[in-house]
Amino acid sequence: MSLFNVYPLFDITPVTAKDVFVYDENNCQYLDLYGGHAVISIGHSHPTYVKNIQEQVGKIGFYSNSIQNPLQVALAEKLARVSGCNSYELFLCNSGAEANENALKLASFHTGKKKVIAFKNGFHGRTSAAVAVTDNAKIIAPINAQQEVEILALGDLESLEKSLSKNDVCAVIIECIQGVGGLDESTAVFYEGIDKLCKKYNACFIADEVQSGFGRTGDFFAFQKYNVTPDIISIAKGMGNGFPVGGILVHPNIKASFGLLGTTFGGNHLACVAVLTVLEVLEKERLLQNTLEVSTHFLRRALNVPRLKMVKGRGLMLGLEFEFPIAELRKNLIYKHKIFTGSAKNPNVLRILPPLTIKKSHIDTFFEALISELS
Ligand code: PLP
């Protein structure tokens, strides 16, 4: 059997990884400024992470959601404290798309309505409702296109109120900083306006923190820069440092009932230990602080880069927007300089999503390579 060929692949085979580096079968070292698509938060194969997961799999890796699992309770308590989202409740699933799928479904249950408002260049995943609210016609199949969705321009509060006032909208879903789209972010007035309008018209404000959460921007969540209280916060990616896990934080205004949501694998013992370890290491190693410090250094170094239009994003969720498409540059960074970076829907944006353990010296290595390619 061959693989269903949906991914264009770089011809590189990582076989081991350590902190900010991955190594191929010839032990060639690559600097990872991509984090496996914003997934690696506390560094590859962090010793505490390896130890805790090994120990847990030796005890019990999985049972089901029909028994007591104190690890889920411990995780909810720790996440509340570390994130500052104390009053929220936690539902666990397995991926970012699944988190948004559950968020949208819950918003629809809660409000009794079904239309969703999302934004231009937004990305929310590839499952049924999540892909329907994603602004990319190429990945929406006819079966997904049945959902009622309106895509608005980022920043357009006037159209948002016009639409919400018809009273058929269950949710407004937004990434406070866009990931796949190319790192665009609107203003405080806009995000705080969404918050107010959702409350006024009884729609749920869903903050998609799948990519921007768990410290990637230097805040635990990107929305925390603003004075907003989302009804639902979706999480995944950096949450498990590579272990497949996702979830939603649900505001206490939305009430749970038996059977409302459910999953077989979500919240299994191994996933809980992975996330508990991520939270432990984020705190112990002060990785949010490191994120801010390294980010400041990155921005300083970026001042001297030729043909660079601007740097977008926050913390270690960054995009370098050039005056030209970056595909060739990205290839040269990988093959010639052994540095992984990311691309975006905007073809001129090179994305930087390293493990949050990265140091200034690694950023210097990147800029030396980048400038040598551009001069
Ligand atoms: N939401 C955002 C903001 C994302 O960036 C992604 C993935 O890139 C998703 C949702 C979907 O997550 P997953 O690929 O885990 O389903």
How many angstroms is it from 59 CA to the middle of ligand 1?
A: 31
Do residue 57 and residue 108 come from a single domain?
Answer: yes
> Is residue 372 scored above 90 in pLDDT?
yes
Structure tokens at 289: 């602080």
Residue to substitute in 94, 124, 183 for testing ligand 1 pocket (most ligand atoms within 8 angstroms of CB): 124
Same domain, 193 and 248: yes
User: Which residues approach ligand 1 with their CB closer than 6 A?
Assistant: 95-97, 100, 123-125, 175, 179-180, 208, 210-211, 236
Single-letter amino acid code for the residue at 155:
G
Residue 49, CA distances (Å) to 128, 271, 277 in order:
33, 11, 6
Atom of ligand 1 nearest to the CA of 127: 16
CATH code at position 322 = 3.90.1150.10
Q: How far is the CA of 353 from the centre of ligand 1 (A)?
A: 14
State the pLDDT at residue 192. Answer: 98
Is the predicted pLDDT of residue 196 greater than 90, yes or no? yes
Asked whether the beta carbons of 347 and 325 are under 8 A apart, the reply is yes
**Do 265 and 340 share a domain, yes or no?**
no
Q: How far, in Å, from the CA of 242 to the mean position of ligand 1?
A: 13
Contact 44, 245 (CB under 8 A): no
- Counting from 1 in the atom list of ligand 1, the atom nearest the Cα of 100 is 10
Compute the distance from residue 374 Cα to the ligand 1 centre, in Å: 31
Atom nearest to 98 CA in ligand 1? 16
Q: Give the ligand 1 atom nearest the CA of 209.
A: 3
pLDDT above 90: residue 281: yes
Q: Which of 269, 284, 299 is the last residue of a domain?
A: 284
Clarify whether residues 126 and 102 are in a common domain: yes
| 300 and 204 in a common domain | no
DSSP symbol at 44: B
Residue 176 has pLDDT above 90, yes or no: yes
Residue closest by Cα to atom 10 of ligand 1:
124
Integer Cα distance of 144 and 192 in angstroms: 30
Closest to 80 in 3D by CA, of 322, 197, 247, 244 = 247
**Last-in-domain residue among 256, 284, 312:** 284
For the domain that residue 65 is a member of, what is the CATH number? Answer: 3.40.640.10
Q: Is residue 362 part of a domain?
A: yes
Atom nearest to 212 CA in ligand 1: 3
Where among 237, 259, 284 does a domain terminate?
A: 284
Percentage of residues in the chain with pLDDT exceeding 70? 100
Quick check: helix, strand or coil at residue 51?
helix
Distances (CA, A) of 363 to 20, 241, 354: 11, 21, 10
Q: Could you tell me the distance, in angstroms and rounded to a whole number, from the CA of residue 15 to the centre of ligand 1?
A: 24
**pLDDT for position 264:** 98
* CB-based contact 225:195 (threshold 8 Å): no
Give the atom of ligand 1 at the shortest distance from the alpha carbon of 236: 15
What distance in angstroms lies between residue 84's CA and the mean position of ligand 1's atoms?
23
Task: For residue range 331-362, list pLDDT tens digits in order.
Answer: 999 999 999 999 999 999 999 999 999 999 99
- Give me the pLDDT at residue 375, please: 86
* CA pair distance 9, 167, nearest whole angstrom: 45
CA 259 to centroid of ligand 1, rounded, Å: 25
Residues 354 and 370 in one domain: yes
* 273 occurs within a structural domain: yes
Looking at the 3D structure of the chain, how many domains does it have? 2
Are residues 350 and 312 part of one domain?
yes
Task: Give the tens place of pLDDT for each residue, 27-85.
Answer: 999 999 999 999 999 999 999 999 999 999 999 999 999 999 999 999 999 999 999 99
Helix (H, G, I), strand (E, B) or coil at 31: strand
Nearest CA to ligand 1 atom 12: 96
353 secondary structure, DSSP code: -
Backbone φ, ψ for residue 354 (5° rounding): -75, 170
Identify the three-state secondary structure at position 314.
strand
Q: Provide, rounded to the nearest whole percent, the portion of the chain with pLDDT above 90.
A: 99
Q: Are residues 222 and 143 in the same domain?
A: yes
Which residue reads 């004075």 in tokens?
227
Q: 36 φ, ψ to 5°?
A: 55, 40
Residues 225-276: tens digit of each pLDDT: 999 999 999 999 999 999 999 999 999 999 999 999 999 999 999 999 999 9
Check whether residue 202 and residue 310 sit in a common domain: no
**Closest among 102, 116, 86 to 205, alpha carbons compared:** 116
Between the CA of 121 and the centroid of ligand 1 the distance, in Å, is 13
Tell me the average pLDDT across 283-297: 98
Order of all β-strands in the sheet with 342-343: 308-314, 317-322, 349-352, 342-343
Domain membership of residue 7 (yes or no) is no
9 falls within a domain: no
pLDDT tens-digit profile of 99-118? 999 999 999 999 999 999 99
Determine the structural domain holding residue 308 and report its residue range. 14-46+285-374
